[in-house]
A = this chain, B = another copy of it.
């Protein structure tokens, strides 16, 4: 039973909520969306990644507060969803996924130890790092196929045709919620709605800031003229959703000042995401949630110098769960 509870909290921690009910609803949303978009392997991978990374955490470290807060599951579940999304292959792919999920726990411990130096959390850096390594390495292994990946190319300026968006209410509605669903690599409006409900269970602030992050990111990329299909599929907003939850509600106490700071951070998140799309083009690498990690680190690390902001809520980073979002 404790293993199940820990695993569900791990799922919840993907959106920084150490809450088992939220985690359970996330899993429901993933299955719903995976079935709806004909990508069941993504849901299977997510479940397997969650179990393997949580079990690895238990094997390596049997008694720890981080364990109970679900710290060893949220990177593994994402590795598990990412591998069937970006790679293909038979049985070997699942061995590969298990290796990656187990490694995500070790990498989490390493990154958390390093960033503890500055009072900052590991966030989903381990997921991104492990997924990049697995995806890049796959080029060298005959038994793993990289076919879903784009061909390597030099960065190209977006064309006027690609950037022309047909902005309807339906397009905006879909984008708003797909930005949320894509946190788990699912492109499905219904899944996004389930995820927002799951956030509501843990914290109204988290649900609200998720939607603020999604809306602001969408407005910015439509204004700048980014690829309209990518925007509509939620591919420009998932990192912004995470940045908004992290800065607006988890690591700073919500306030008007924090709201302005968080919106600024969301703008930076969008720019970082677009920059990584260009930088990774030659090596066909998916960006993942790296923009969330980089922008959130940049906006957390100066914290000692911000006088008027409430710092009491910053603890040892995500490693210490907030009282208000603890498991029931």
Partner of A61, one of B99, B155, B305: B305
Number of interface residues of A (CB under 8 A): 80
**Interface of chain A, main secondary structure:** helix
- Is there an interface contact between B140 and A278, defined as CB atoms closer than 8 Å? yes
Across the interface, which residues of B come within 8 angstroms of A227, CB to CB?
140
Across the interface, which residues of B come within 8 angstroms of A153, CB to CB?
154
Measured between C-beta atoms, what is the minimum distance from A88 to chain B in Å?
A: 11
Q: What number of copies of this chain does the assembly contain?
A: 3
Across the interface, which residues of B come within 8 angstroms of A143, CB to CB?
223-225
With contacts A106-B299, A224-B141, A306-B61 known, is A275 near B156, CB below 8 A? no
- Is there an interface contact between B264 and A102, defined as CB atoms closer than 8 Å? yes
**In the complex the two chains form, what is the Cα distance from A281 to B156 in whole Å?**
14
Measured between C-beta atoms, what is the minimum distance from A96 to chain B in Å?
A: 8
**In the complex the two chains form, what is the Cα distance from A163 to B299 in whole Å?**
44
With contacts A133-B272, A283-B278, A302-B113 known, is A61 near B142, CB below 8 A? no
Across the interface, which residues of B come within 8 angstroms of A151, CB to CB?
154
The 7 closest A-B CB pairs, nearest first, are A152-B154, A142-B225, A109-B302, A110-B301, A137-B274, A136-B275, A140-B274
